[in-house]
Amino acid sequence: MGRRGPKPEPASVKLAKGKSGRRPIGVDPSAEEQAKAVAAAGSIKPPSWLKTDGLVVWNRLAPRLIAQKLLFQIDAETFARYCKNFGRWLKMQKRLDTMGEIYEIETASGKVRRADPAFLIGDRLERQLVSAEAVFGLNPAERQRLFAARAAGSTGDLFSGSTTPAKENEGKPKDPAPSGGTPGSAVGFLQ
């Protein structure tokens, strides 16, 4: 199931519309922050299996994601897979630009037009890329959602029912179990 409500808007769109509520509008990282992140980008290395076109995509995008604190060494394999698929998608687009999206074959009943296999492969890759872009915040709406969650101080702990850091909850009694589950369990929420 997808997320509820309308997709979040990028900060630049919110600023253009004007501040309609009391919530703060996020901002993009400054040039100084990005320069620091580019210097730190050397610490996150692409996997050895990432070659050619995928490596070009990595070198272009990884410093930006590191600057926004969206890419860490543990994510390197997943992001490398995204970069490799993006490189393949670019190859398919180049082929379609030269060969065309449709070809014709002769059958017993006449000429039949078919979609080029590069078109079908490119379409599948594009679907995979769109879902991976949401995970890494590579589109404006998802990036805004990630920054808003950070600003709200969410720890992202699904099962504790709390969005505050653990140190603030020390010494406080836990909430009683919701409708039939055990204390601290998410089972009651599923009923």
pLDDT, one tens digit per residue, over 75-131 is: 889 999 999 999 999 988 898 888 888 788 888 888 888 888 888 888 899 998 888
- The pLDDT assigned to 163 comes to 47
Q: pTM, whole model, 2 decimals? A: 0.55
- The pLDDT assigned to 33 comes to 65
Residue 82 CB neighbours (<10 A): 22
Residue 16 CB neighbours (<10 A): 9
Mean pLDDT, the chain, rounded, equals: 74
Q: Which residues pair with 103 in a beta bridge?
A: 114
| Tokens representing residue 135 in the block | 């995970």
First to last CA, the chain: 17
pLDDT, one tens digit per residue, over 156-176 is: 544 444 444 444 555 555 555
Separation between Cα atoms, residue 182 and residue 175, nearest integer Å: 11
Q: Are 132 and 85 in contact (CB under 8 A)?
A: yes
Residue 145 CB neighbours (<10 A): 18
Of these ranges, 35-49, 71-85, 125-139, the one predicted with the greatest mean pLDDT is 71-85
Residue of 39, 1, 16 whose CA lies nearest to 140: 16
- The pLDDT assigned to 87 comes to 92
Question: Does position 18 have pLDDT exceeding 80, yes or no?
Answer: no
